[in-house]
Structure 1
Amino acid sequence: MNPSPVLCWLRRDLRLSDHATLSRAQQCGPVLAVFVFDPALLTGLPANDKRVAFICAALDEIRTRLRALGSELVVSYGDPQQQLPCIAQDCGARQLFFARDYEPMALARDAAITQILETQGVTVEAVKDQVVFEQDELLSKAGQPYTVFTPYARAWRAQLTPASYAAWPVKLESRYFAARDSLPAQWRGDEKPIAVPGFANANLAALTIQTGERGARALLQDFATRIARYGELRDYPARKGVSYLSAHLRFGTVSIRELVRLALEDGSAGAMVWLNELIWREFYQQWLWHFPEAEQTSFKPAYRNLVWPGEDSHFDAWCAGQTGYPLVDAAMRQLKLSGYMHNRLRMVAASFLVKDLLIDWQRGERYFASQLLDYDMAANCGGWQWAASTGCDAQPWFRIFNPVTQSQKFDADGHFIRRYVPELAVLDNKAIHAPWLAKTLPETFLLGRDYPAPIVEHASQREKALALFGR
């Protein structure tokens, strides 16, 4: 008689190495890995949503590896509150493990599922996996959550020990996983690629990065050769300076602990700058957990009742990459095409929407949420509120990015702009940053016909933003 399987519910941890949940589950019996496509998270997404395709590719890789061990990845479609109890009952499972999430909706869902399963006689255990420090593990000396990054980062580094980022071992041997042939037929899956009805999940052509744990490994190995120069190259979107691992970190095809180990083992100045970015991610995770209302409203109460005078037509132009500001437009087109936007450009594009177009940051946050392959609620809300001066930021509200000087500084030769705004490729390296200021333009190029004139004037909009935030 086969022993009862231990369910490992995969969510934001789509890998089979350095896996806290899987490692913990293996201590209790043969593991049956489970993934549930939740309609509540899929509703409203376009049929070609890149995130769904990325998830399916990662799951296909996991399933292939588990089947090679004689096991299975159970993939289910429906409300987890209904699906998980059914899987547990049908498969005779008496334990379920999952990695904690910190978003408001996820916390409510997990609490409800835990109650249902425990009523059914299934023991549920949540473990820490997607962060190094979670919840109340880092508090100020006064016992309060940090709301400014620098002291949080100082505390994070001070509390870090080798045990904090040690790998969770996973035994990839048949005897540590539930046998596929012991499962009820309805949970054994078929031979088709994993896909969600209504989504073009099997078509990965739209993805511009490698998927799954193997894709993460390849990117990590490549970045390890460049990490020392991260600090000097990270702000230049046309340079290969960043890790391109954000989507993999978001979906857990790589472990946060492995990334911390890479930074510390390298030890270069560039690696320490990159580690700081990983700490920013954790800062926003604990911030959203302590202040879940920040998902829906400005963190700073003074800005919760601002009346934003921006125009809908300007928001539409911003989304379409047709504002007349080349670097902003290039950034927005990169996002729409690839599901990715360079981090420096996220700040520039967000500042432009809020401080130049005078449009509520929440509209931009929602648009990014609909487009970003690496969308993470905590980082997205935190980043937008940082740009809008409404969130956790020690800098005052009068920080406003100038989209032209940002372009001149970080894309001096216009390489990035030419890639995503090809209609400007005929302009020289000076004119390409602000075509409306050029003394002469090529005869074949007409501003307003071939590329829009600026929809607003930065200097005057800056004054309006200062008046709006300063009142």
Structure 2
Amino acid sequence: MTSISILWFRRDLRLADNAALYHALKGDYPVLPLFIFDKNILDKLPKDDARVTFIYQTIEDLKKELQQQGSDLLVKYGEPEKIWPEVLKEYNVKEVYTNHDYEPYARERDDNMAEFLTSEKIAFKTFKDQVIFEKNEILKADKTPYTVFTPFYKQWHAKLNDFYLKAYPTEKYFKNLLQTKHLPLPTLTEMEFEKSKLDFPKISYKSKLDNYATERDFPALDSTTRIGLHLRFGTLSIREAVKDALEAKSNVWLSELAWREFYMTILWHFPYSAFDSFKKQYDKIKWRNNETEFKAWCEGNTGYPIVDAGMRQLNETGWMHNRVRMIVGSFLTKHLLIDWRWGETYFAEKLLDYEMASNVGGWQWAAGSGNDAAPYFRVFNPELQTKKFDPKFGYIKKWVPEFGTKKYAQPIVEHTFARERVLKVFKEALS
């Protein structure tokens, strides 16, 4: 039986500029790429989850690309801890290559896999790919992690150079892919998923960069890059995105890419913050957690037009404009006094571009409980936010067609009352 290496795809679903694939192809054995539809993750998702369709379509594309090279992608469905022993029976595996993942489940899975593969005398080699800087690469002088973005970003930006941005030239080594006949692909139906009807954004953002800084906060405009989904699943290389930001001199967009890495660093160093408040005293807050009001928020029926527009956009498209994400997050946690974890969980189910680090970071920012958060006494006024960012109601009218008619919902809470209530409750918990 031929000795081979396996390249384990996870959040890096591309052949070009892929760190682990590059190192695998330069290794001693022919490389067979593998993807596992992970039941540990999939079993928690709704059966029409659009992200599964996106991954599936991407896997189909990857298989075609690999087949053009005389190779293929081995695709399995199940729990990785059960799949790997099966793969080792099918193939004579000498080395496994993969890219780092930073979320709690992924870290535990990879620790277990490293232990198992080492016990089988198989090398498990992992690489940095989905970020420019990771783990301990950006630290304060005393070797502790930054918990405030601005000084983190200064160092992140100062450290950027060609070495970190150079693409991995995988194409040069495609001849080292394992030559194999076509391998089967389980269907969505076999995995008990339905094909989603949602449209997925294309990787097409360069034209947005010139006006990004001035237009990105206005949700009626199509002025954001919509690449969150592609960064999440690695269909776009972060190195390519950062190079494009530098080339376009789009400093605001560059800082947005750095925020993503900042939140990943926070999650890496403070994994408890995925489920608990970063500032632990915020876990003393007495949330109201009114289920009727939460349902109205989820459905976009709060009587606050900008909030409702955002939630309806999310429910219908799997995406919400970033400025509006801040507004709806503040509204849920401050106006309705509902635990940020409820909102985070809802977004986790609905957002195509859901990334745990950024989503948790954004929600804790809105609630005031995060590491570099808005102070608790900052309560967004939805009317002022509308005047500032949707003054002609273009965004609101698109998503809330009954706005301005008698059919539109009455506000479920009055702003001044809600503001005074939240300040009292937060003050009591934090004093």
2:263 paired with 1:264: no
Give the superposed CA RMSD.
Answer: 1.6
**1:188 partner amino acid:** L
2:111 paired with 1:105: no
Kept in 1, the 8 Å contact 2:5–2:30? The answer is yes
Partner of 2:252: 273
Kept in 2, the 8 Å contact 1:39–1:78? The answer is yes
Normalised by the length of structure 1, the TM-score is: 0.88
SS state at 1:304 partner: helix
In the TM superposition, 1:411-450 aligns within 5 A as 411-424=390-403, 427=404, 445-446=405-406, 450=407
Partner of 1:11: 10
Displacement of 1:195: 6.0
* CA distance in structure 2 between the aligned counterparts of 1:421 and 1:369, rounded to whole angstroms: 23
* CA distance in structure 1 between the aligned counterparts of 2:289 and 2:419, rounded to whole angstroms: 13
2:184 paired with 1:189: yes
* CA distance in structure 2 between the aligned counterparts of 1:263 and 1:196, rounded to whole angstroms: 41
Displacement of 1:3: 4.6
**2:169 partner amino acid:** P
Partner of 1:148: 148
Partner of 2:413: 456
Provide Cα deviations, 1:168-223, integer angstroms capped at 9, x if missing partner: 11126652211113xxxxx8215x866652101xx3422x224xxxx43xx1xxx2
SS state at 2:75 partner: strand
2:197 to 205, 211, 216: 205
SS state at 1:373 partner: coil
In the TM superposition, 1:242-391 aligns within 5 A as 242-267=224-249, 271-391=250-370
Partner of 2:221: 239
* CA distance in structure 1 between the aligned counterparts of 2:338 and 2:266, rounded to whole angstroms: 24
Kept in 2, the 8 Å contact 1:96–1:125? The answer is yes
Distance 1:292 1:196, change over 3 A: farther
Provide Cα deviations, 1:304-363, integer angstroms capped at 9, x if missing partner: 111112411100100011101111001001111111111101100000000100111111
Kept in 2, the 8 Å contact 1:94–1:122? The answer is yes
Partner of 2:48: 48
Kept in 2, the 8 Å contact 1:59–1:194? The answer is no
Partner of 2:381: 402
Kept in 2, the 8 Å contact 1:8–1:25? The answer is yes
Partner of 1:468: 425
Kept in 1, the 8 Å contact 2:366–2:373? The answer is no
SS state at 1:9 partner: strand
Distance 1:394 1:312, change over 3 A: closer
Provide Cα deviations, 1:418-456, integer angstroms capped at 9, x if missing partner: 1111122xx4xxxxxxxxxxxxxxxxx32xxx1210000
* CA distance in structure 2 between the aligned counterparts of 1:96 and 1:174, rounded to whole angstroms: 17
Provide Cα deviations, 1:95-138, integer angstroms capped at 9, x if missing partner: 10111111111101101011111111211001000111111111
Partner of 1:170: 170
* CA distance in structure 2 between the aligned counterparts of 1:295 and 1:17, rounded to whole angstroms: 31
* CA distance in structure 2 between the aligned counterparts of 1:395 and 1:205, rounded to whole angstroms: 37
**2:244 partner amino acid:** L
SS state at 1:94 partner: strand
* CA distance in structure 2 between the aligned counterparts of 1:335 and 1:231, rounded to whole angstroms: 23
Kept in 2, the 8 Å contact 1:5–1:31? The answer is yes
Kept in 2, the 8 Å contact 1:13–1:251? The answer is yes
Displacement of 1:9: 0.4
Displacement of 1:38: 1.0
Partner of 1:435: none
* CA distance in structure 1 between the aligned counterparts of 2:143 and 2:398, rounded to whole angstroms: 49
**1:463 partner amino acid:** E
In the TM superposition, 1:223-238 aligns within 5 A as 223-238=205-220
**Deviates further, 82-91 or 146-155:** 82-91
Distance 1:46 1:395, change over 3 A: closer
Normalised by the length of structure 2, the TM-score is: 0.96
* CA distance in structure 1 between the aligned counterparts of 2:362 and 2:88, rounded to whole angstroms: 39
